[in-house]
């Protein structure tokens, strides 16, 4: 940590002088890779320091980084261990003003979990969540916001950042939601039908525009998952590489709400194929699923869970501790 603080405070050239020009070597200790800090690794440290600046300031990582990292140095600041953690996004799906969960995205198979979505959000916040994931299900089908009232109630009563998808398909709606206090909007259908709007919005609102990619068998589905396209997931994701989007929320529709585990292989493949932070969604049913996603071999930004939290299959406080420990 001390070394990263030097790099942040003094910049690369002065940090080089302070730390020295020694050669580096990698060692294994207690099963983790550790590095002796040297001139060769300062460029790596600069990159590591970027998402870790908020740690030094507030104890939290940058939520738009690929992962959250804690840098742990020994007393002499000679060794450094990188350990990645992952954000858990509790999901609140809104249908007819209620917090519900669907199975495979089928609006006819909705289970109501709370008539007061804002109260549900507060339960998640009290358990320690860092973000909330909101979906306007009716809006996704209608093409415009429908559940604005419960979303606004959630924003008014909670003090953690929230992201929202569903029915956001023009710049005016994007501007309106962000002005109401949303930290991030999620663009799904419009990412396929009007990708220029995504690029325009990402430029206008840096760090506040994400792309939602929902897929069946590798092909993107739109309009509340009702319409399947010929667009492949990876192709769509790569098309936004230089657009400046904050994250990609990848949902495997066949896993969503089914409590059968996430599609870890496809999620990891997508995350490794693009530089954009990826958030996994669909099928998370246990703490073991979350750990498997964290350790999948890709730097996932986070994972979304809904039904497992409502059913009690995942204890939110316990999961947050496990993922951040």
pLDDT tens-digit readout, 262-302? 999 999 999 999 999 999 998 899 999 999 999 999 999 99
Instruction: Identify the CA nearest to 89 among candidates 108, 106, 68.
Output: 68
Query: For the chain, what are the domain ranges?
Result: 2-85, 87-324
Q: Which two tokens stand for residue 9?
A: 């405070």
Distance CA 170, CA 162 (A): 19
What is residue 72's predicted lDDT score, i.e. its pLDDT?
33
Q: In angstroms, rounded to a whole number, what is the distance separating the alpha carbons of residues 323 and 130?
A: 12
> Given this model, what pLDDT does residue 107 score?
84
Phi, psi of 102 (to 5 degrees): -100, 165
In the block, residue with structure tokens 């440290």: 45
Whole-angstrom distance, CA of residue 49 vs CA of residue 15: 13
Instruction: List, for residues 218-233, the tens digit of each pLDDT value.
Output: 789 886 556 677 889 9
Instruction: Extract the tokens encoding 12.
Output: 């690369």
66 vs 100, residue with greater confidence: 100
Task: Pick the catalytic residue from 93, 252, 256, 299.
Answer: 93
Distance from chain centroid for Cα 25: 33
170 is catalytic: no
Task: Tell me what the mean pLDDT of segment 126-136 comes to.
Answer: 97
Scanning 168-315, the segments in alpha helix (DSSP H) are 171-179, 189-193, 195-204, 233-238, 264-273, 287-294, 307-311
74 is catalytic: no
Catalytic pick among 170, 196, 214, 242 = 214
What is the C-alpha separation between 187 and 229, in angstroms, rounded? 16
**Cβ atoms of residues 92 and 134 within 8 Å:** yes
* pTM greater than the 0.85 cutoff: no
Q: How many residues does the chain have?
A: 325
- Whether 20 has a pLDDT exceeding 70, the answer reads no
pLDDT above 90 covers a percentage of the chain that reads 59
166-183 mean pLDDT: 97
Q: How far is CA 74 from CA 2, 34, 36, 82, in A?
A: 9, 11, 11, 12
Query: What separation in angstroms does the CA of 99 have from each of 151, 187, 223, 277, 298?
Result: 11, 21, 20, 27, 31
Q: Which CATH number applies to 87-324?
A: 3.20.20.70
Mean pLDDT, the chain, integer:
79
């Amino acid at each position: 940590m001390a070394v990263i603080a030097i790099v942040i405070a003094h910049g690369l050239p002065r940090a080089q002088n302070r730390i020295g020009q020694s050669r580096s070597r990698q060692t294994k200790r207690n099963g983790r890779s550790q590095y002796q800090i040297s001139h060769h690794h300062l460029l790596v440290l600069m990159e590591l320091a970027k998402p870790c600046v908020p740690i030094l300031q507030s104890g939290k990582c940058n939520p738009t980084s690929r992962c959250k990292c804690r840098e742990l140095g020994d007393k002499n600041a000679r060794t450094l261990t990188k350990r990645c953690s992952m954000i858990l996004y509790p999901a609140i799906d809104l249908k007819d003003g209620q917090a519900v969960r669907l199975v495979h995205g089928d609006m006819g198979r909705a289970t109501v979990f709370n008539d007061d979505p804002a109260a549900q959000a507060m339960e998640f916040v009290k358990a320690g969540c860092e973000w909330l994931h909101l979906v306007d299900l009716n809006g996704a089908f209608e093409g415009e916001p429908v559940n604005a009232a419960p979303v606004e109630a959630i924003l008014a009563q909670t003090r953690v950042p929230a992201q929202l998808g569903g029915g956001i398909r023009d710049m005016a709606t994007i501007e309106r939601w962000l002005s109401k206090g949303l930290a991030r909007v999620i663009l799904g259908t419009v990412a396929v039908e009007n990708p220029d709007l995504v690029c325009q919005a990402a430029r206008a609102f840096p760090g506040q525009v994400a792309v939602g990619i929902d897929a069946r068998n590798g092909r993107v589905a739109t309009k509340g998952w009702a319409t399947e396209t010929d667009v492949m997931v990876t192709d769509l994701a790569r098309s936004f590489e230089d657009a400046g989007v904050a994250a990609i929320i990848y949902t495997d529709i066949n896993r969503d709400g089914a409590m059968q585990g996430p599609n870890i292989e496809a999620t990891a493949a997508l995350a490794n194929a693009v530089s954009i932070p990826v958030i996994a969604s669909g099928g998370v049913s246990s703490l073991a699923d979350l750990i498997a996603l964290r350790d999948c071999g890709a730097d996932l930004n986070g994972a979304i869970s809904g039904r497992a939290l409502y059913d009690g299959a995942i204890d939110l406080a316990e999961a947050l501790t496990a993922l951040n420990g």
